[in-house]
């Protein structure tokens, strides 16, 4: 590990030298690439330097222990020696985590798709609750969220809704939300007071950049149509809605959230590119599935990951066996505790298998 860290430190210094060159600054693509690498390596190098400082302190206190006859001074040196050893162990443990392979998608924006599952109108209403929850979390985390497409029901729920969450590290925080979310509550439409169980599926997809997915324009059928549903006076008067069909895969994307056809087309293309990227990743992941499995799941959308029990005020994540008894706060976007626990569980599993 030490040899690997020395090589990382040399690479880090070389990147710093490159970033100072005028020709690098003038080449924006190269500059951005080097800055991303610099940002990734900085915490590792800083921790390694902290380790080396602790190691030096241990050596110096060890030398003084052998040289000094004074009992009082020896006791002080022993204390410094023990502390240095503890610091070295702490840095070693932290470096093992820092050296774990990073998910290359962690820093990306995400597109979240929420779909009503079993439960009819009640499932659609809960899809709306989850959309609100993630929107409020995104706002509290300093992210920006924007609806790409939606299919609203008459009672204010969603058969499906797709939205973008933009911000550094958005995927690293939300990627474990993919799966089936189960709700147990008395529906607003239920008169007898019986508890119903409904499901909603959530898919969290890292936004694909143009360089990652090339789309042949001849593979896309583009149609414009009038918007439908709630939305104001412009509805049904202008052909601002856009429908994209990707002929090779049969993927259909509809977007009518904006008044501008150009903006709707741009949003639809982002969603199409991301879906194609997700298909590509799924194929790759299936080939290396055994290496990617972890205790927090594989992101399979058929996997039941969480239950929201309204009568007990409880949210339970079945992957890590964690329950939180503050459902109102949780659904108001305060999901950070659960997200952090999932990240910790995933890190622990990867360390065990490293």
pLDDT in tens, 44-59: 999 999 999 999 999 9
Is 166 in contact with 138 (CB distance < 8 Å)? no
The pLDDT of 275-301, averaged and rounded, is: 58
CA distance linking residue 262 with residue 76, whole number of Å = 72
The pLDDT of 280-309, averaged and rounded, is: 62
Q: In what order do the strands lie in the sheet with 220-225?
A: 220-225, 241-246, 251-255
The pLDDT assigned to 154 comes to 80
Is 200 in contact with 112 (CB distance < 8 Å)? no
CA distance linking residue 180 with residue 72, whole number of Å = 64
Tokens representing 267 are: 């949003």
Instruction: Give per-residue pLDDT as tens, 117-133.
Output: 988 889 999 999 999 99
Residues in the chain: 354
Dihedrals phi, psi of 274, to nearest 5 degrees: -70, -40
pLDDT at 190 over 90: no
CA distance linking residue 75 with residue 70, whole number of Å = 9
pLDDT at 288 over 60: no
pTM, rounded to two decimals: 0.70
The pLDDT assigned to 302 comes to 64
pLDDT at 289 over 50: no
CA distance linking residue 306 with residue 315, whole number of Å = 7
The pLDDT of 183-193, averaged and rounded, is: 77
Q: Calculate the average pLDDT of the chain.
A: 84
The pLDDT assigned to 236 comes to 44
pLDDT at 309 over 80: yes
CA distance linking residue 116 with residue 121, whole number of Å = 8
In this prediction, residue 298 has a pLDDT band, given cuts at 50, 70 and 90, of very low
The pLDDT assigned to 252 comes to 85
Is 64 in contact with 83 (CB distance < 8 Å)? no
Other Cβ atoms within 10 Å of 257 Cβ, number: 19
Instruction: Give per-residue pLDDT as tens, 322-340.
Output: 999 999 999 999 999 999 9
In order of start, what are the domains of the chain with their CATH numbers? 2-98 (no CATH), 110-211+298-353 (3.30.70.1660), 217-285 (3.30.160.20)
The pLDDT of 72-100, averaged and rounded, is: 90
**Residue scoring higher pLDDT (112 or 286):** 112
Which of 103-107, 290-294, 306-310 has the highest average model confidence (pLDDT)? 306-310
**Residue scoring higher pLDDT (287 or 271):** 271
In this prediction, residue 143 has a pLDDT band, given cuts at 50, 70 and 90, of very high
In this prediction, residue 141 has a pLDDT band, given cuts at 50, 70 and 90, of very high
Tokens representing 176 are: 């474990």
The count of C-alpha atoms lying within 13 angstroms of the C-alpha of 233, restricted to the half-sphere facing its C-beta, is 0
The pLDDT assigned to 301 comes to 53
Instruction: Give per-residue pLDDT as tens, 17-36.
Output: 999 999 988 888 888 889 98
In this prediction, residue 135 has a pLDDT band, given cuts at 50, 70 and 90, of very high
Is 157 in contact with 119 (CB distance < 8 Å)? no
CA distance linking residue 299 with residue 180, whole number of Å = 10
The pLDDT assigned to 202 comes to 93
Instruction: Give per-residue pLDDT as tens, 148-187.
Output: 888 888 888 999 999 999 998 899 999 999 999 999 998 7
The pLDDT assigned to 33 comes to 86
Tokens representing 113 are: 């798709």
The pLDDT of 71-95, averaged and rounded, is: 90
In this prediction, residue 189 has a pLDDT band, given cuts at 50, 70 and 90, of low
Instruction: Give per-residue pLDDT as tens, 69-81.
Output: 778 888 888 889 9
Helix ranges (DSSP H) in 99-243: 120-140, 170-174
């Amino acid at each position: 590990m030490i040899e690997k860290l020395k090589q990382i430190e040399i690479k880090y210094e070389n990147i710093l030298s490159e970033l100072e060159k005028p020709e690098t600054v003038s080449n924006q693509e190269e500059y951005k690439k080097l800055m991303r690498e610099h940002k990734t390596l900085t915490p590792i190098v800083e921790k390694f330097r902290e380790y080396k400082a602790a190691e030096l302190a241990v050596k110096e206190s060890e030398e003084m222990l052998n040289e000094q006859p004074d009992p009082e001074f020896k006791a002080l040196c022993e204390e410094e020696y023990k502390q240095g050893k503890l610091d070295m162990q702490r840095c070693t443990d932290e470096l093992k985590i820092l050296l774990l392979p990073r998910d290359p998608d962690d820093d990306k924006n995400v597109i979240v798709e929420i779909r009503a599952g079993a439960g009819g109108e009640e499932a659609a209403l809960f899809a709306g609750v989850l959309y609100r929850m993630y929107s409020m979390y995104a706002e509290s985390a300093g992210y920006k969220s924007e609806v790409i497409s939606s299919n609203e029901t008459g009672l204010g729920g969603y058969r499906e809704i797709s939205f973008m969450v933009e911000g550094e590290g958005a995927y690293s925080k939300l990627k474990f939300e993919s799966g089936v979310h189960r709700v147990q509550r008395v529906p607003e439409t239920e008169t007898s007071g019986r508890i119903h169980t409904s499901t909603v599926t959530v898919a969290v997809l890292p936004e694909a950049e143009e360089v990652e997915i090339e789309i042949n324009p001849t593979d896309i059928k583009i149609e414009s149509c009038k918007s439908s549903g709630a939305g104001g006076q412009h509805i049904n008067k202008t052909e601002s809605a856009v429908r994209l069909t990707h002929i090779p895969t049969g993927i259909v994307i509809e977007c009518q959230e904006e008044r501008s056809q150009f903006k709707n087309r741009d949003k639809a293309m982002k969603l199409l590119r991301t879906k194609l990227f997700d298909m590509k990743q799924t194929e790759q992941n299936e080939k290396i599935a055994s290496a990617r499995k972890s205790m927090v799941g594989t992101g399979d959308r058929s996997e039941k990951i969480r239950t929201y029990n309204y009568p007990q005020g409880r949210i339970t994540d079945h992957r890590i066996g964690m329950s939180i008894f503050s459902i109102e706060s949780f659904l108001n976007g305060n999901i950070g505790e659960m997200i952090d626990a999932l990240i910790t569980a995933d890190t622990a599993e990867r360390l065990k298998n490293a």
